[in-house]
Homo-oligomer: A and B are copies of this chain.
Amino acid sequence: MEEQILSYSQLSNFANQIFLQIGCPADHAALATQSLLRADLRGVDSHGVARLSGYVRLWEAKRVNSKPNIKIVHESPSTAVVDGDAGLGLVVAPKAMDIAIAKAKSAGTGWVAVKNSNHFGIAGHHAMMALPQDMIGMAMTNASPLVAPTFSVERLLGTNPIAVAIPADKQPPFVADFATTTAANGKLEILQRKEQNAPLGWIQKKDGSPSSNPNELKDGGALIPLGSDREHGSHKGFCLGAWVDIFSAVLSGANYGPWVPPFVSFLSPPADPVGEGIGHFFGAMRIDAFRPADEFKKHMDNWIERFRSAKTIEGQEKLIIPGDPEREYETERMKKGIPINQKVIEDLKALAIKMKVEF
């Protein structure tokens, strides 16, 4: 697949200009840029600048408010509900995570449910905000319904990711960030571009039968919860996706399940909403609300070192600690630039012309 290498600063300058052009205040544009680009840096190419023109189209469709009044609408010592005022999730999410961190400072932990938001980029970015504070960070979000729960032919859930970021001492942090489906939608997009089949167990047809066609979702098919089938625990993947949906949206007052508005602007949100926008859920736990942080972090080093040095299956170099591959991408891409698919380049060029921004 053809691609070009662009530097982090090129891409982030461009994204920042675009966010300013749709009317974001400077501080919001900076936050949105940081959230968005973190995906490109960490190798989650589907969630970065490849989505920039999609966000702009949502703004054009008046589904994104570029000047949101993001505010707490309900709270307790360790919790808050935030109304994102239809802002970019890329902005709403870090602001909500800041509130979770502030709550954790005073109450030990902080838990923030968000309604009336939009897609927030990669969950891991927000969860990792807790790390420099010696806190554990968590982030989850619901998303447009593309997933059929076990036994269902209807798409009732999004890929609903969960991220958990846990600090260590000398070792890099443990950062898990994963869709609660067998495969994330971004993986299908890659197969579509390469015109390759998907493994069985990722997708089902409109009638629920197995499929390996990465374009199946266009014909009414669905992604499958983690586990692939009942015998291999897809009901557990459904539990995970449902949990994320309920924490993100039923707790906050956002839309849940099949009512979550689609990310693409050419599909209208359901006419009978059960809440406002999409929902997120964030958590921050101060380590020293449990035990001294240095003690904890030394044990995390020990945990990570023991697992990383595990004896592996022949042909496998090492056990992968959650966050290792993404961190390696980040270091590499910050230094050497970010490879951008040619189709995405064309899309960004068109966006530059439309928005009168230099690319």
Contacts and interface: CB of A to CB of B under 8 A. Distances in A.
Contact of A242 (B156, B174, B251, B299): B174
A120 B107 CA distance: 28
A78 B289 contact: yes
Contacts of A289: 74-76, 78-79
Contact of A76 (B176, B233, B286): B286
Contacts of A201: 232
B312 A153 contact: yes
B79 A290 contact: yes
Contacts of A287: 251
Interface in A64-96: 74-79, 81
A299 B312 contact: no
Interface string A2-31: 000000000000000000000000000000
Contacts of A300: 246, 250
Q: How many copies does the complex hold?
A: 2
A141 interface: no
A242 B307 CA distance: 10
A299 to B, nearest CB: 5
A78 B109 contact: yes
A111 interface: yes
Interface residues of A, number: 85
Contacts of A176: 239-240, 242-243
Given A107-B108, A176-B240, A228-B228, 13 more contacts: A75-B289, A79-B109, A81-B290, A108-B111, A151-B320, A154-B310, A156-B306, A156-B307, A178-B235, A250-B296, A251-B290, A253-B295, A258-B306
23 contacts: A74-B291, A76-B108, A78-B109, A149-B307, A150-B319, A152-B319, A154-B311, A156-B307, A178-B233, A183-B233, A199-B232, A207-B313, A226-B227, A227-B228, A227-B232, A246-B303, A250-B296, A252-B291, A253-B291, A256-B299, A257-B303, A257-B306, A275-B299
